[in-house]
């Protein structure tokens, strides 16, 4: 690790090095916390403890000793797999969201696009269940409602939005879902007034 340098305002005439050796990550995290929030206090304490005068430049080295127990490499590999798996799920989810949004926009003019948007949303729902985020899953159901309305099944779309809004009102941290419900309701009203693409050809 690159040593930390501390120099007082008095010009340095020499350098003194201090090595800290840690056996646990908790101890290391404690020192790093002090460096982030109370750096000057930490260096003052080090200089006082090791009797390093102000005219000397202070170099601090951090070292970690090998743990006494053997690392659980199988669990480490498992964690890395889960981390990469969740990243891949998230990337695929937002790619599908972008693609589905484009087809949904075109679904106002052609029901074939609305059908494709519905299929994309079905994939999103499957991924959202694996991802384990109920807010994302609820928003996917709202995408389904939009597709159903564009395909002429307006009553089904309204029922889906009602169900999602009821869930959102009875669960914490769902403000974004409630706002999305209102937005979808406005879209459904527009479709009710204007009609669906298939009837307007």
Of the candidates 160, 133, 167, which has an alpha carbon nearest to the alpha carbon of residue 146?
160
99 & 190 share domain: yes
**pLDDT score, position 201:** 43
Domain boundary (64, 85, 104) is at 64
Q: Does 108 or 73 have the greater pLDDT score?
A: 108
Give the tens place of pLDDT for each residue, 20-56: 777 777 777 777 777 777 777 778 878 888 888 888 8
Which of 26, 42, 64 finishes a domain? 64
Tokens, residue 46: 């080090």
Same domain, 108 and 45: no
Q: Could you tell me if 27 and 114 lie in one domain?
A: no
**What's the whole-number mean pLDDT along residues 103-128?**
94
Q: State whether 119 and 188 are in the same domain.
A: yes
> Quick one: tokens of 95?
């790619």
φ/ψ (deg, to 5) at 65: -80, 150
CA–chain centroid gap for 157, Å, is 29
CA distance 21 to 32: 13
Same domain, 77 and 28: no
* C-alpha to C-alpha distance for 12 and 10, rounded to whole angstroms: 6
3: how many CB neighbours lie within 10 A of its CB? 13
Rg (CA), the chain: 29
Contacting residues for 32 by C-beta, under 8 A, at least 6 apart: none
The domain total for the chain is 2
Q: What is the mean pLDDT of the chain?
A: 83
Full residue range of the structural domain in which residue 16 is found? 4-64
Q: What confidence score (pLDDT) does residue 73 get?
A: 66
Q: What is the pLDDT of residues 183-200, one digit of tens each?
A: 999 999 998 888 765 444
Task: Name the least confident of 6-10, 111-115, 177-181.
Answer: 6-10
**CATH number, domain containing residue 104:** 1.25.40
pLDDT band at 161 (very low <50, low <70, confident <90, very high): very high
78 shares a domain with 60? no
User: 189 near 148, Cβ under 8 Å?
Assistant: no
pLDDT band for position 178 (50/70/90)? very high
Coil, strand or helix at 7: coil
CB 88 within 8 Å of CB 129: no
């Amino acid at each position: 690790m690159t040593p930390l340098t501390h120099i007082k305002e008095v010009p340095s005439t020499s350098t003194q090095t201090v090595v800290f050796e840690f056996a646990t990550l908790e101890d290391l995290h404690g020192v790093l916390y002090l460096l982030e929030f109370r750096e000057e206090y930490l260096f003052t304490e080090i200089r006082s403890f090791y009797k390093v005068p102000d005219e000397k430049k202070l170099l601090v080295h951090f070292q970690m000793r090998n743990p006494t127990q053997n690392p659980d490499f199988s669990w480490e590999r498992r964690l890395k797999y889960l981390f990469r798996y969740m990243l891949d799920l998230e990337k695929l989810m937002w790619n599908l969201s972008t693609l589905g949004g484009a087809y949904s926009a075109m679904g106002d003019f052609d029901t074939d696009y609305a059908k494709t948007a519905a299929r994309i949303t079905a994939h999103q729902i499957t991924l959202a269940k694996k991802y384990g985020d109920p807010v994302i899953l609820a928003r996917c159901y709202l995408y389904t409602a939009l597709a159903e309305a564009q395909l002429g099944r307006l009553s089904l779309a309204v029922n889906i939005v009602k169900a999602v809004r009821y869930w959102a009102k009875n669960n914490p941290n769902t403000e974004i879902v409630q706002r999305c419900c209102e937005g979808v309701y406005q879209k459904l009203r527009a479709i009710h007034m204007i009609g669906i693409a298939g009837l307007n050809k």
